[in-house]
Structure 1
Amino acid sequence: MTAFTKSALLRATYLTMLAGVVAPAASAQTAAEPATAVRTTNAETGAGAEAETDGSTDIIVTGSARRQRRFDVSYAINSLGQDDVKRLAPLNFADLLGKLPGIQVEATGGEVQNVTRIRGIPTDDGYAVFQQDGLPLFHDINGNFFRGDSLNRFDLMTERVEVVRGGPAPIFASQAAAIVNNITVTGTETTRGKVQLTAGTTDLYRLDAMQSGPLGERTYYAIGGFLRRDGGQRDNGFPNDRGGQIRANIKHDLDNGSVRLSVNYLNDHNTFYLPIPVADPRNPSVSLNRYIDFFHGTLNSPAFRGVTLKYRDAAGVTQSETRDLADGRHMEYGNVGLQYDGEFGGWQLAVRGGYTKGRLNFDALYSTSNPRDANAFAGDFRAAANTAFGTAANPVARLGYAIAGTNGATAYDPYADSGLVVPAQYRGVGSSFYSGQGDVSVTRKFETGIGSHDVRVGAYASAYGLTNKAVYQDYLMEVRGQPRTLDLLAYDANGKVLGSVTDKGVLRYGTTLNQGDVDSTVYSLYANDTWEVLPGLRIDGGIRHEWYHIEGYGLTTAQDGVNLGDSATLADNAVRTFDGARQSRKDNPTALNWTVGANYDVTDNFGGYVRASHLEVPPQSSSYYNINPVLVKTQADQYEAGLKASFGRNYLYLTGFYTKFDPFNASFVAFNPKTGRNDQAVPFIGQAEVKGVEVDGTLAPVRWFFVSGSFTYQDPQYKNLANSSGADPSAVNGNQIIREPKVFGNVRPTFSFDAGGDTVEVYGRYEYTGRRFVDLLNKTRLPAYNTFGLGATLTHDGFQFQVVGDNIFQNKGLTEGNPRIDQFDGQTSADAIYGRPIFGRSVRFIVSKAW
C-alpha cells in the first residue's frame, strides 16, 4: 500500500470516527431499528398459496431514513426475497434484475460482468450501485474489468435484494441513479437453516447452505455460502465456472441497539462469453450455424490454454507472460464489516464500516474484426510478406494457411469449411484493489405545528484504489466452435515455406499495453427530511455533497512499437513497448446531488407520488491510469411520477420517468483492424434523453392462481452530440441509443394446488426484448426476440424439489453486436451478423431442505 493510500485510509477512518463522536448522546430508551430489518411480507414460504411480494406489507430499508412499507415510499423499489427468487429462477444476478420493471439487461456474458441498464441510462452499468447491507464493497461503480455483480453473489446468505430505481438513490449512495442492496441473513432467537443442491444440463453442480440462530445471551450468528462447478452455457472445451463464497456474521443486542461484525470471502473463476459470427458476411442470408452453433458455440477454445503474451519493457528487454483462458475472470477478495445501531433519547445512530481487499486476474478472448473471406484476408498481407520474405530471385508465390505451429506440415483449406477466417484478441489483465468505506448517520423525528419531520443527517467517506496491467495480442482462427488457431504462411513457387505472417497462431504480438495505478478518497455529507404534512401527504427532500481527490498514473508506450527481431514472422514487427515515461494526473472533482418528492395516499390501498432528482457522477477513478482519457463529469436530471394500488394479493405500480443527461459522454475507442490496436478514438459529447413508463403488478383472481409481470416502454435518444475530430453528428442526433430497446417486459403465471398433502406449484415465464441497434447511426439492427421458461416445485415433508427450464423453445436473439468495431456505423448488413447470442435451452434440478 502506498503512502498516499495509507494516509487516505487514515483520513477516511478519522472522518467516520469523528462523525460518530459528534453524534448526540442521551439516555438509552428503546432498541434501534436495524438497517438489516427482517423482511415482513405475506409472500409465500413454500405453501404456494400467496402471490409474489404484494407491495403493501413489504418492509424496505434502502433509500429511506427508516424502515417503511414499500407502498408508503415515494419512489420505485422492489424487494426480492428467497421465495421470489425461487420462482424467477435467474441464471445470474443480472438475469434476476432483468425481471424487474425499468431494468434492461444483457445477461449473456456468463455468470458475472453482465450489462445492466436502468431506465434507458446509456451505460453498461446504468449507474446502479451494488451494496451489501447498505455499503458498497468497492466505492466506484466499476473497477478494472469488474463491476457490482462480480463482487456481489446471490446465495442463501442473501435474505433479500432491494432495488431502488431513481428516487432518492443519489442521496443514499455515491454515483447512484439506482441502488441494488443485498441484505444478508442475520441470526435471531430461532435457529434456522437450509441446504440446497443444484444440478443442471450444462454440467452444473452447486451446493448452497445457510445456518443461523442464537450463539449466547443476546448474541446471534449466521453463516453460509456456496460451492459451484459449471461446464457453462457454451462449450469452451475446458471447465467454465468454479469456486465459491462464504459469508458469516455475529450480532449482539445491546440495551439500546445492536452491533454486528461480518466477514465474507469470495474465490471464483468465471468464463466470459464474447460475440460470435452467426452469418456469412459475403452473403448474410447464409447461417454459420453448421460451423459454430448459435446456442452453444464460442470462439473460446483449448487452443488458448497456454498462450504467451509478449511486450517490451522500458529497459528494452522482451517480456513474456504465460496465460490460460480457462482461468477466466478469477476474482478473489475478502471483506470485513462492522455495523452499529443505537437509540439515544429519540436519536437513532447508525454506523457502518467496511474494508475490502482483493485481486482480479482476467483472461478472455475478445471479438475484433468480422470474419473475412480467406483469400481476401490473405491478400492484405501479400505485399508485406513479399517484402519481408521474398527476394528478386525467389519471390513469394502465394500465401496459404496451416494449423498453427506445424510450419505448414498440416495444411488447412478454409474452403473445405466455411471459406472464412476470423481474428480475435486475447486479453490478459491483472489488478489488485482495496476499498475502505464508512457511513455514520443520525435520524430524529420532530413534531411541529404542521405535521412531523423525520430528519436524517449523515457523513460518508471512502479511500479506495486499484492497479492495472493489461497486455493484448491478436490471433487468427478458423470459423467454428472451439476453433484451432491458424498460421498464414508465405510459399515460393516450389512450395517451400519462406516465412510466416503469423507466429504459432499469433497475428500480432503486444497490440495493447497498459500499466498504471490510482488512489482516491471521497468525503460526503448528506441530509434528508421527510415531512408528513398531514395523514397520507408526505414531502421529502435531500441533498448530498461529495469531494473527491484522485491521484493516478499510467506508463506511456512508444507510438509505433518495436520489432522484436524474429525475421521469420511479421507478428512481432510492431510490438508495444514501454518508453520509460509516465503520465501522472491529479484531480479534485466534486458532486452535488439532490432530490425532492411528494407522496399522497388517498387510502391505505391507493396513492401516487412525484419526484425530481439531480445526479452528478465524476469520472471513474480507473480513467486516471489511462493515457489521454476523455474525462467528463456526467450530470443527469431525473423526473418520475407514479400511481400505486394494492388490494390484498393484487397490486399495480405505474411509473412514468424522464431523464436528461447533460453533458453525456458517448465517446468510445474502436479497434483498428490495420494495426490490431484499440486506438481509434471517436469522441462524442452531448446529451442523452430517455422518457418512458414502467408497469409492475400482480393479478390474483383466485387462491390457486396468480400472474405477475413487468413492462417498460421507453424512448432513449441521443441529443445535440458534438464531435471534436471532424465527424458529423447530425446523423446520430435523435437516434435510438445503442443496444437500448424501446419495449421490454415479462409475464409470469403461477398455478398452485395440493396433491395428497403435498404442495405443487407450476409456473411459466415469457420474456420479450424489442428491437435495438448496434451503432450510433442505427444502420444495423439487433432484432426483437422472446423466450419461454417453465418451472415446477414440489414441497414434501420438509423437502422441496424444483425443476426449471430456460428458453425451452430455443428462440434466437442477440444482445449485442461486435462493439469493438461496429459502434459508429454498424456492420455490413441490416441485421447483425456478428453478435452475442442468448443462451439455448437448459434445465436445472434443485433439491433443498429447510429447518
Structure 2
Amino acid sequence: MKKQDFAVSCAVLALSVLSTPAFAQTTATPAAEPTQLAEGAGEDIIVTGSARAQRRFDVSYAVNSLSQTDVEKIAPKSFADLLGTIPGIQVEATGGEVQNITRVRGIPSDRGYLIFQQDGLPLYHEIDGVFFNSGEGMNRYDLMTERVEIVRGGPAPIYASSAAAIANNITVSGGPQSRGKAQITLGNTGLYRLDAMQSGPISDNTYFAIGGFIRQHDGYRYGGFPSDKGGQIRANLKRELSNGFVKISAEYVNDHNVFYLPIPTNDPRNPAVSLNNYIDYFTGTLNSPSLRNVNIKYRDGAGALQSMSRDLSNGRHMRFFNAALDYEANFGSWNVSAKVGGTKGKSSFDAFYSTTNPADANTFAASYLTAARTAFGPNVARLGYAFAGTSGTSVYDPATASGLVMSGQYRASESDFYSVQGDLSVTRKFETAIGTHDVRAGVYSAFYGNTLRQAYQDMLIEVRSQPRTLDLLAYAATGQVLGSVTQNGVLRYTTTLNQGAGDAQMIAVYANDTWEIARGLRVDAGIRTEKYSYKGIALPTTQVNLGDATTLADDTTRAFTGQVLDQRLKPSATNWTVGVNYDLNGHLGAYGRISNLEVPPQLGAVTGINATIIKTKARQYEVGLKASFGPNYLYATGFYTKFNPFNASFAAFNPLTGRNDQTLPFIGEASVKGVELDGRVSPIRWFSLNGSVTWQNPEYANLQNNSGADPSAVNGNQIIREAKFFGNLRPSVDIDLGEQKLSVFGRFEWVGKRYVDLFNRTAMPGYQTIGGGVLLDRGAWHVQVVGDNLFNAHGLTEGNTRTDQFAGQGTAQAIYGRPLFGRNFRFILSRSW
C-alpha cells in the first residue's frame, strides 16, 4: 500500500470518530465508568462482548477478568502462560515469550481463532500476519495493562472478526488521584526486567497514564545469545466530558524474541536411549552461535545471484507504532461509542526449525555417496565430516559423540505491515409492552496489508545443544578433498522462496439486542455480516542449479521466474448468535446459546502461490450454569462445536527436496464437545482455591480425500495436539500481619495425552507441573519470589510438526518435541505510590 493510501485510510476512519465529539456538549448524564459499577457490585465488571458494562454474573456467556492482583499470583512467564489458567484454553507456552500456541475449546488451529484486542480494537486486523500473530505476538503484558478480559464463544463472533474467543487488554487510564509503580524482576535464567507506570491528573478533567517495560533475558534454553531483549512504552491522555470521555493513546514496541523449536530427546535408532548427555531435556536447544552469520543464496527474476546475510540472534524482531482514539458519550437514552486505531510496523523473523529426526552419521553419509561420485568423479572413495568452513582441516567424528547428525531449516522472513481499523456503534435501551430492549448497532471497518519475503534453507548440524554446523566432504583414497556435499554448513540452499504483497479492505455491520422479558429472564440475539476485498501479488519460483561445481548444496535452489501473479479475492462472512439467560436470583442462574462462526480466507490467499481457499464454518452450542456467593463462585459451561467444512490438509517436510511438498489433502468435519469449569472457594478468610478444569473430546469426522488416500483411519481420531483433559488449581494462603501481608500461593497444572499425527500413532504423554511463590506486602513495598516446574516434571508439546503429522515418529511415544522448561525462579521487587 502506498504511503498516501495509508494516510487516507487513517483520515477516513479518524473523521468518523472526530465527527461525534462535536455533539458532546448537548447531553447531561455522564457515561458510567466500569470502576464505578464495580464499587457497587462488589465483583468483576465486564465490558467485552457486551453492549454495556455488566457484572460477570449477569452476562450469558463464558468470560473471565484477570486484574493485576490476579496476575501477581499467577506469575506467568508469558501472555500465553497467563491464558493457560483460563478454562477451555489449552496452551503450549514452550516457544518462548511470544509465538506460542493457544487453542480454544479444542478448535484445531494453532491460534484457535482467539482474537486479541486493546481497549476494544485489534492492533492488526487478522489473526496472523507474516510470521507474527496479532495476539501475544503483538500484545505484551506490563503495568499499563489494568486487566485482561477473555470471552469464549458467546457473542465473540459478533464483536470481532473470525472470533471464537476474544482477549481484550484494558489499559490503565489516568484519574483524579496520582498513582504509580516501579518494578524490578530478576530471574535465574539471566532475566533482567524493569517495569514502570505513572498516571494522574493534568487538570481538573484531563488525565494521563504512561508506562512500559525494558528487558533482557538469556532465556530458558540459552542459545549463546540473549533470548529476549527490548521493550515497549504505552501512553494515553483522557479528557472527561460532561457526558462521557475522549481518550488518545499511543504505543511503541521494539522487541527481539528468540523462538524455541522442538529438539530430539531420544535416539531414533534405539528410542530407549536418551540424548540428554548431548542436548539437555530442560535447557538444550538447537539455537546456536554457529547460526549468527548464515548466507542464503537464490536467483532473482532476472537470473542474477542474490544473497541474504542473516543472524539467528535477531530472533523475531517486532517493531510497530500504534495510535488510537476512543470516544464515548451519552445523549439522553443513546450511547455513542467510536474507536479508531492505526498500526504501522515491521517484523523480521529468524528461526532454526526442526525438520527430520537425527540420523546415524554413517547411514546419512552413505546416502549421498552416489550423488557425490556423479558430481565429483569416480575417485570419490568415502564421505567424511568436518566443521563447517574449515575445508576439512578440522575433522568431526560423530562416533566420538552421539554417532548422529541431523539437518534443520533456517527460516528468514521480512514483512512490512499496516492496519487501520475503526468501530462506530450506538446503544439504546427502551421499554416495550413485553420487557426492555437494549440494542446496540455498529459498523466496523479495516484497511490493512503486508509485504512478505521469505527464504528457507537446510543446514547440517551435530546433535548437541548449541550445535556446530558441519560439512560433509568427498575424499579420494589419498585423503584429498574432491568436493563437498554441503557448503559452509548449508545442506541445500533456499529450498523455499516466497515474495508477495497484499492490501485488504473490509467492512462489517453488526447488531445485538438484549431483551429482558421479565426479571431474570433475558434473550439476546446478534448478527454480523462482513465483506472483504483482497488485492495481492505473488512471485512464482522454479528450481535451478546455481552452477557451483564444488558442492551439491546449490543443485536444487529456488529461483524467481520473473513472473508476477496479480490475484484478487472478495470473500464474505455472516455470523450470528442467539442466547437465553435465566437468573433465579442474584446468586444462581443458567443460560443457553447457539452461534454461527464463518472464517473467510485470509489475506495470504492472494500473496501466496496455489493457496487453499476455503471458508471455514463452525456451529457453536453452549449451556451454562453459574453460581456466585460473595468470594465463592462456580461457572460451568458445556460446549459443542462442529466445523463443516473443515480443512485438515497438511503439507509436510520432504527430506529429499527440503520443501514442504508432501501433501495429504483432507476436507471434512471436526467436532469438539466438552465441559469447562471455572471456580473459586474461600471457606475461611485466609485461604482460597481458584481453579479451572476442561474436559473435551476433539475429533475428526467425515473426512474426504480426492487423491486416493483412505480417510477411514483418521475419522474419529483425536485432533492433533489437542488434549482431552487439562486444567489448573491455584491455592493461596493470605495472612494479615498488621503492617504486613503475607501470601503463599501455588499452581498445579496438568495436561492429558495428545497425539502428534493424524493417525494417532505417536502419543505425547500427559504431564503435571507444580509451581509456587511467596508474596510480602509492607506498605508501598512488594516483594515476591516465584518458582516454576519446581520438580522438573517431564512433558512434551508440539512434537515435530514438520514431518510427523502423517505417520508419527515411528514410536508409540514421541521422541522429538518441545519439552517443558526446567525449574526456574524469579525475584520481583516493586514499590507503589
The alignment-based identity, stated in percent, is 61
Match of 2:659 in 1: 677
Contact 1:471 1:514 in 2 (8 A): yes
- Structure 2 distance, partners of 1:116, 1:699, is 27
Q: How does 1:620-769 map to 2 (within 5 A)?
A: 620-755=602-737, 757-769=739-751
- Structure 1 distance, partners of 2:785, 2:7, is 53
Residue 758 of structure 1 and its aligned partner are, at CA, apart by 1.3
Residue 597 of structure 1 and its aligned partner are, at CA, apart by 0.4
Match of 1:352 in 2: 339
Match of 1:510 in 2: 494
Pick aligned residue for 1:137 from 119, 123, 133: 123
Output the amino acid matched with 1:445: K
- Structure 1 distance, partners of 2:20, 2:738, is 61
Output the amino acid matched with 2:35: V
Match of 2:456 in 1: 472
Residue 665 of structure 1 and its aligned partner are, at CA, apart by 1.1
Secondary structure of the residue aligned to 1:581 is coil
Output the amino acid matched with 1:459: V
Pick aligned residue for 1:319 from 286, 299, 306: 306
Secondary structure of the residue aligned to 2:57 is helix
Residue 5 of structure 1 and its aligned partner are, at CA, apart by 4.7
Match of 2:59 in 1: 73
Residue 797 of structure 1 and its aligned partner are, at CA, apart by 2.7
Secondary structure of the residue aligned to 2:86 is coil
Corresponding position: 1:126 with 2:126:
no
Q: How does 1:269-668 map to 2 (within 5 A)?
A: 269-391=256-378, 395-558=379-542, 561-668=543-650
RMSD value, Cα: 1.8
Contact 2:647 2:668 in 1 (8 A): yes
Residue 16 of structure 1 and its aligned partner are, at CA, apart by 4.0
- Structure 2 distance, partners of 1:22, 1:686, is 50
Q: Give the direction of change, closer, same or farther, for the CA distance of 1:178–1:39 in structure 2 (3 Å limit).
A: farther
Contact 1:12 1:523 in 2 (8 A): no
Q: Give the direction of change, closer, same or farther, for the CA distance of 1:4–1:733 in structure 2 (3 Å limit).
A: farther
- Structure 1 distance, partners of 2:776, 2:37, is 24
Any idea what the Cα deviations from partners look like across 1:761-787, whole Å, max 9, x if unmatched?
001111000000000000000110110
Corresponding position: 1:87 with 2:73:
yes
Corresponding position: 1:846 with 2:832:
no
- Structure 1 distance, partners of 2:711, 2:806, is 10
- Of 681-690 and 776-785, more deviation after overlay is shown by 681-690
Q: Give the direction of change, closer, same or farther, for the CA distance of 1:712–1:201 in structure 2 (3 Å limit).
A: same
Any idea what the Cα deviations from partners look like across 1:244-302, whole Å, max 9, x if unmatched?
00000000011121111000000000000000000000010111001000000000000
- Structure 1 distance, partners of 2:60, 2:572, is 27
Contact 1:246 1:266 in 2 (8 A): yes
Contact 2:214 2:232 in 1 (8 A): yes
Contact 1:26 1:345 in 2 (8 A): no
- Structure 2 distance, partners of 1:398, 1:282, is 23
Q: Give the direction of change, closer, same or farther, for the CA distance of 1:40–1:107 in structure 2 (3 Å limit).
A: farther
- Structure 2 distance, partners of 1:307, 1:275, is 20
Secondary structure of the residue aligned to 2:137 is helix
Contact 2:183 2:196 in 1 (8 A): yes
- Structure 1 distance, partners of 2:48, 2:788, is 31
Output the amino acid matched with 1:29: A
Output the amino acid matched with 2:2: T
- Structure 2 distance, partners of 1:343, 1:772, is 51
- Structure 1 distance, partners of 2:707, 2:191, is 49
Match of 2:154 in 1: 167
Residue 386 of structure 1 and its aligned partner are, at CA, apart by 0.5
- Structure 2 distance, partners of 1:246, 1:757, is 33
Contact 2:516 2:522 in 1 (8 A): yes
- Structure 2 distance, partners of 1:63, 1:850, is 32
Secondary structure of the residue aligned to 1:85 is helix
- Structure 2 distance, partners of 1:22, 1:89, is 40
Secondary structure of the residue aligned to 1:397 is strand
- Structure 2 distance, partners of 1:41, 1:751, is 25
Q: Give the direction of change, closer, same or farther, for the CA distance of 1:11–1:187 in structure 2 (3 Å limit).
A: closer
Count of matched residue positions in the alignment of Structure 1 and Structure 2: 832
- Structure 1 distance, partners of 2:724, 2:3, is 49
- Structure 2 distance, partners of 1:208, 1:473, is 39
Any idea what the Cα deviations from partners look like across 1:57-79, whole Å, max 9, x if unmatched?
11110000000000000000000
Any idea what the Cα deviations from partners look like across 1:76-103, whole Å, max 9, x if unmatched?
0000000000000111000000111000
Residue 7 of structure 1 and its aligned partner are, at CA, apart by 9.4
Any idea what the Cα deviations from partners look like across 1:326-369, whole Å, max 9, x if unmatched?
00000000000001111112100000000000000000000011
Pick aligned residue for 1:218 from 192, 199, 205: 205
- Of 59-68 and 143-152, more deviation after overlay is shown by 143-152
Secondary structure of the residue aligned to 1:740 is coil
Residue 22 of structure 1 and its aligned partner are, at CA, apart by 13
Match of 2:243 in 1: 256
Match of 1:96 in 2: 82
Residue 27 of structure 1 and its aligned partner are, at CA, apart by 3.8
Contact 1:706 1:751 in 2 (8 A): yes
Q: How does 1:42-53 map to 2 (within 5 A)?
A: none
Listed as ranges, the gaps of 5+ residues in structure 1 are 44-54
Output the amino acid matched with 1:13: L
Q: How does 1:795-810 map to 2 (within 5 A)?
A: 795-810=777-792
Residue 494 of structure 1 and its aligned partner are, at CA, apart by 1.2
- Structure 2 distance, partners of 1:723, 1:247, is 49
Output the amino acid matched with 1:95: D
Secondary structure of the residue aligned to 2:77 is coil
Output the amino acid matched with 2:59: V
Output the amino acid matched with 2:56: R
Secondary structure of the residue aligned to 1:150 is coil
Secondary structure of the residue aligned to 2:544 is coil
Output the amino acid matched with 1:357: K
- Structure 2 distance, partners of 1:8, 1:396, is 65
Secondary structure of the residue aligned to 1:84 is helix
Contact 1:4 1:519 in 2 (8 A): no
Q: TM-score, normalised by structure 2?
A: 0.98
- Structure 1 distance, partners of 2:3, 2:237, is 33
Output the amino acid matched with 2:212: G
Any idea what the Cα deviations from partners look like across 1:695-723, whole Å, max 9, x if unmatched?
00011110011111100000000011112
Residue 754 of structure 1 and its aligned partner are, at CA, apart by 3.2
Q: Give the direction of change, closer, same or farther, for the CA distance of 1:385–1:8 in structure 2 (3 Å limit).
A: farther
- Structure 2 distance, partners of 1:486, 1:625, is 35
Residue 677 of structure 1 and its aligned partner are, at CA, apart by 1.2
Contact 1:26 1:344 in 2 (8 A): no
- Structure 1 distance, partners of 2:387, 2:71, is 47
Contact 1:40 1:58 in 2 (8 A): no
Residue 33 of structure 1 and its aligned partner are, at CA, apart by 3.5
Contact 2:243 2:331 in 1 (8 A): yes
- Of 407-416 and 262-271, more deviation after overlay is shown by 407-416
Pick aligned residue for 2:776 from 791, 794, 813: 794
- Structure 1 distance, partners of 2:523, 2:590, is 12
Any idea what the Cα deviations from partners look like across 1:514-552, whole Å, max 9, x if unmatched?
000010011010000000111111110000000100111
Residue 14 of structure 1 and its aligned partner are, at CA, apart by 8.3
Output the amino acid matched with 1:443: T
Q: How does 1:767-782 map to 2 (within 5 A)?
A: 767-782=749-764
Any idea what the Cα deviations from partners look like across 1:85-123, whole Å, max 9, x if unmatched?
000011100000011100000000000111000000100
Secondary structure of the residue aligned to 1:387 is helix
